[in-house]
Chains A and B, each alone.
Chain A
Amino acid sequence: MSGEVISLLLSFQPDSPEFKSKREYDIQARRFAHDIANLSPQHFARGADTSQDILEICNPAVNTIAYIFPLQYRIAAAGGTFQSPKHVSDQLKPGGALWNKAVNFLENADPIQLRYVGAEWRKLCTYIEQVARFTGTPALAISPIRSGMLRLDPTSGTFTSVHLQFIRICVETRSYAAANPILDNYIHSLPGSIPQVVRESLEFSVPASDKLTNSGEFIHAKSGHSDKISLPDLQEYYLLGSHAYIGQRQWAKAMRLLEHILVTPVVTGVGNGLMLEAYKKWVLVTCLVHGTAKPLPRTTNTSAFKGIKAASKAYDALADAFADLSNLPKLRAQINAGRDTWAEDGNLGLVNQLAENQYRFYVARLSRTFSAIPVSKIAAALDGTVQNLTTYLEGLIANGDLNASLEQTNRPELGVVLRFYPDPTKGPLAKTEKQQLQALLAQTERTNLLAEQVKSADYRLSLTKEYIEHIKRVNKKATQGGGGGDAMDMQFEEPLEEDLMQ
């Protein structure tokens, strides 16, 4: 019996020459996954901890589909129902044999086969997370889940519920840097619905096809990789992601992530609480990036933001005070005046960053006026000591925030001198032409990638019912002959009239 199971499990070989087309592969893979799912779980338990163990015989990188079912069964058995930590057996605890197998699977599974066992894959990620939580070390789940996500989809750009689980653990355990490999990737797709005919019977669009350039085409509503997601889930992901960046002081990245929340479509009314939260943080972070407040991204819903802005006036005032470099005490006063507000919103740390960073912009402004200035002069303007300021400036220069250097002069009345480099090709931050070129090339690549993602999104939109119905209507009108023209005209006129009515 055991032998039969094993031969069944090994019957699907992805490299088998039998698969002349991706379509055939697809049919086989689906049938195979279905068959295994229907096997009685007892089969998987046989031979455990012996050389005949299914998990020893199958190779996760080759027999991915065959491997994931028994693996899951074992974890469930070892961890019981996750009622309490006591139920987790040693084998499953981080470092145990079963844990290692699961981690190994997530890291090495065959990405193509993973596309056919989405639900199981997601369950595996959840198991890992739960085990880590029950053993009191949630941070240990970060690395395996991250590997799993990148293994399935190297761009990690299709949003899944696993993304949200992942970022929650990262922020909870303050492992901000660990989140970067996922956060740095732009969410270019949301799992949508893809018609069955496209999913299952077209040579170039079955999940197994290597022509799929976009993960949104194999991670969709029916693929099981993601639980059902909603708007707050997505917004929460962005917000928590921005927390992670803020925790690493990567203001620009945090700002860009927050902007994704600001562009949320709003039917009517004022948007939701997450947008308010995001806006407040966005105002602060924008200041830290640009030194002043910036207009909202163009894609935002302006009427919704009237309400949001009205509710966050304190933040806008703070941004004004921040930008006012000729009146530095104003910001301090504003911060103290609103201390309760910031604390209540959980933004106190970020607000304190404003106070710290304002000097950075002050010095940056000096660099546009002076080419060299004694530190004592700046210190006098800022009411600080030369000693402190020198240390601060050294920090700025070391961080690459300032293209300048500190020099000790032999004239005692000048003391230490801050020398700026107005020419961007000179000084410690100088960029060579070659570096510039590389930056440009990298940007070109990013843009091209983005263009691909847009194309893919466009393609998926063209598969939706709404679009097809629209096309039908258009075609119908076109075939009605002379009358068609009139009907088309009507379409253009109607909205115009509505505008006039308003």
Chain B
Amino acid sequence: MAANSIDQSPFFQGKRSRAEIVVKDPPKFDLESYVSNYDGRTRIHRLHHIGSCSPFLALEAYRTAITEAKKGKNIKLYLSLVEDFAKISPSDPLAVTDSAWVDKKKRDVKEEQDKLEHELKAYKNNLIKESIRMGHEDLGHFFYATGNFADAQKAYMRMREHCTSSKHIADMGLRVTLATIAQQSWLQVHSGLVKIDASQLKGEDKAKLEPIVSAVTGLAHMALGSFRDAATSFIHTSPAYLNVEPAAGIAWQREALSGNDVAVYGGLCALASMDRVELQQMVLSNTDFRNFLELEPHIRRAITLFCNSKYSACLEVLESYRNDYLLDVYLSSRVSEIYNNIRTKSIVQYFIPFSCVTLDEMADKFQPTGDYASIETELEDMINAGVLDARIDLVDRLLICPSTDPRFEVHSNALEMAESYDQTLRLRLSRINMLSAGFAVPAEKGSKMDAFMGGGMGDGGVLRNLGSKLGLS
């Protein structure tokens, strides 16, 4: 009953009317243990996302999130959480804004900001580079904690000219990256990571950073929709990521994306962008990535099924986890795209060995997802998009592989090409002839032409003004 009232609450009603994601069914994971994998901003962020997407987990997620938020300095976040929650469960004690806390926090934050800025000014007067750098860093941390990510990024960027070692530069880069991830400006994330990767760190320091850079690069690629690049980055992430020491004071596997996330994101992106041979060689036989896949055995199973051409089973496995992925903060907006890619690829791969398949068989193997009215329409779209090379026979309800005649094709292409070259050459010769005869449209517009402007047209066959031009010569 309670769940139903939440589902029907104004908040979710509003989301549905805006056609935003609302996950109806309960997910497979346990919220508490899931969230316990994360720390810092991403923890509340994830809770917020889950709460706002799943009516089933909304109460629990918002309650935890609001409690957590109150521990921090991010007033904006707290206020927006409470606002949402009030729409979901107005009677809950946590749904009422704690204005005393808000006022106090506002004052505290103002004070702290003044203090930090003052300190920074003092450092600047002293002209000690290291102090100035740390002053900026403190200010950056402060802005980050208050949820002012743009200013945090700016503060971190100002550290650049006061950095004295390449380690400082790399740390600064990582900080900037975290701030840009929080803003979800993925292009900046990507360019920042490229800079870190190109930094002059050597030996152990570099080795420590590598897994982080490659995992976060994968995330940026995935968020930008380039799944192939994302997959490559993820599957080449070293298993050291799982227990890498905090870099720049950030425990990446807790504050950005966990090892499980790497496995899921990497596995899905690979499924969406690679063919069977590549999946076998680059994903399943990849000893580095195996460590990640062990964390998420169903992803491994899905990939194995795909490699063994059991596409419907593979899709079934993935489908059962769709809800979980919709609740993942980074994956949710890409899930349907990734799933569609995998589905399309499965259909293409499935059809390769056949010359002819009945549509009913196809519909049976690939249960319609609801995006299309029927398997025919889906196949039709795939063929029109050039993904699937086949023809549909709506009479006998068959999917047919078009027979090709390479010899005929070569001949036809040769003819076509010859004709187009022929015409190109003719046009060139025409132009040369005109040039050599001194025919060129002069710089000034000839008024003579106007007589023809009213010209005729073929089908009507009306040709005005021409008769009058014919006189005795």
Contact = CB atoms under 8 A, between A and B. Distances in A.
Nearest to B384: A369
Interface residues of B, number: 69
Nearest to A407: B395
B415 interface: yes
B395 A409 contact: yes
Interface string A410-434: 0000100101101111000001010
A374 B418 contact: no
Given A190-B433, A373-B394, A171 B456 contact: yes
B285 to A, nearest CB: 38
Contacts of A265: 431, 434-435, 439-441
A314 B414 CA distance: 35
Interface centre among B380, B431, B472 (most CB of A within 10 A): B431
Tell which of B411, B467, B472 has the most Cβ of chain A within 10 Å.
B411
Contacts of A113: none
A272 B458 contact: no
A188 B437 CA distance: 13
Contacts of A345: 457
Nearest to A377: B394
Given A347-B457, A440-B414, A443-B419, A275 B441 contact: yes
Interface residues of A, number: 98
A267 B441 contact: yes
Interface string B222-256: 00000000000000000000000000000000000
Contacts of A59: none
B441 A264 contact: yes
A61 interface: no
A267 B441 CA distance: 6
Interface in A247-301: 247, 254, 256, 259-260, 263-275, 277, 297-299
Nearest to A242: B458
Given A234-B434, A372-B395, A82 B472 contact: yes
B432 A346 contact: no
A167 to B, nearest CB: 10
A245 interface: yes
Contacts of B422: 443, 446-447, 450
A299 B435 contact: no
Contacts of A213: none
Given A172-B463, A346-B457, A453-B429, A370 B439 contact: no
B30 interface: no
A431 B411 CA distance: 11
A234 B422 CA distance: 21
Given A265-B441, A350-B459, A440 B452 contact: no
Interface string B422-459: 11111111111111110111111110111011111111
A370 B359 CA distance: 13
Contact of B441 (A245, A272, A346, A450): A272
Given A264-B434, A299-B431, A450-B422, A349 B395 contact: no
A393 to B, nearest CB: 15
B126 interface: no
B204 interface: no
A374 B395 contact: yes
A231 interface: yes
B473 interface: yes
Could you say which of A244, A439, A460 has the most chain B C-beta atoms within 10 Å of its C-beta?
A439
A390 to B, nearest CB: 15
A4 to B, nearest CB: 34
Contacts, number: 230
Interface string A358-373: 0000000100111111
B461 A436 contact: no
Most chain A CB within 10 A, of B425, B452, B458, B463, is at B458
Given A187-B430, A270-B445, A436 B408 contact: yes
B439 A369 contact: no
B393 interface: yes
B431 to A, nearest CB: 5
A464 B436 contact: yes
A246 B252 CA distance: 69
A312 to B, nearest CB: 13
A130 B472 CA distance: 8
Interface in A280-336: 297-299, 304
Given A190-B437, A372-B395, A446-B422, A260 B430 contact: yes
Contacts of B393: 370-372
Contacts of B432: 457, 461
A243 B450 CA distance: 19
Given A272-B441, A372-B395, A457-B432, A171 B463 contact: yes
B452 A236 contact: yes
A440 B395 contact: no
A187 B415 CA distance: 22
User: In the complex, which of the residues B396, B404, B439, B446 has the most CB atoms of chain A within 10 Å of its own CB atom?
Assistant: B439
Nearest to A432: B408
B392 A424 contact: no
Contacts of B429: 188, 450, 453-454, 457
A348 B441 contact: no
A33 B422 CA distance: 40
Given A171-B461, A172-B467, A274-B449, A369 B391 contact: yes
A348 B460 CA distance: 8
Nearest to A270: B445
A192 interface: yes
A369 B392 contact: yes
Given A424-B408, A457-B429, A299 B457 contact: no
Contacts of B446: 232, 272
Interface in A136-175: 161, 165, 168, 171-172, 174
Q: Which of A126, A254, A260 has the most CB atoms of chain B within a 10 A radius of its CB? A: A260
Contacts of A239: 452, 455
A260 B428 CA distance: 9
B430 A436 contact: no
A227 interface: yes
B395 A417 contact: yes
A246 B426 CA distance: 21
B455 A277 contact: yes
A298 B404 CA distance: 32
A256 B423 contact: yes
A392 interface: no
A19 interface: no
Nearest to B403: A423
B456 A346 contact: yes
A189 B448 CA distance: 25
A171 B465 CA distance: 13
Nearest to B394: A373
A271 B441 CA distance: 6
- Listed residue (A274, A298, A346, A439) with the most chain B CB atoms within 10 angstroms of its CB: A346
Interface of A: 82, 126, 129-130, 133, 161, 165, 168, 171-172, 174, 176, 186-192, 227, 230-232, 234, 236, 239-240, 242-247, 254, 256, 259-260, 263-275, 277, 297-299, 304, 345-350, 352-353, 365, 368-374, 377, 409, 414, 417, 419-420, 422-425, 431, 433, 436-437, 439-440, 443-444, 446-447, 450, 453-454, 457, 460-461, 464
Interface of B: 380, 383-384, 391-396, 398, 400, 402-405, 407-409, 411-412, 414-415, 418-419, 421-437, 439-446, 448-450, 452-463, 466-467, 470, 472-473
Given A188-B429, A450-B426, 19 more contacts: A171-B461, A171-B463, A172-B467, A187-B430, A190-B433, A227-B473, A234-B434, A247-B459, A263-B427, A267-B441, A297-B427, A370-B392, A372-B393, A372-B396, A423-B405, A424-B409, A440-B414, A444-B418, A446-B422
14 contacts: A168-B470, A171-B466, A231-B440, A264-B440, A265-B431, A274-B449, A346-B462, A371-B392, A420-B391, A423-B405, A433-B411, A436-B411, A436-B412, A450-B429
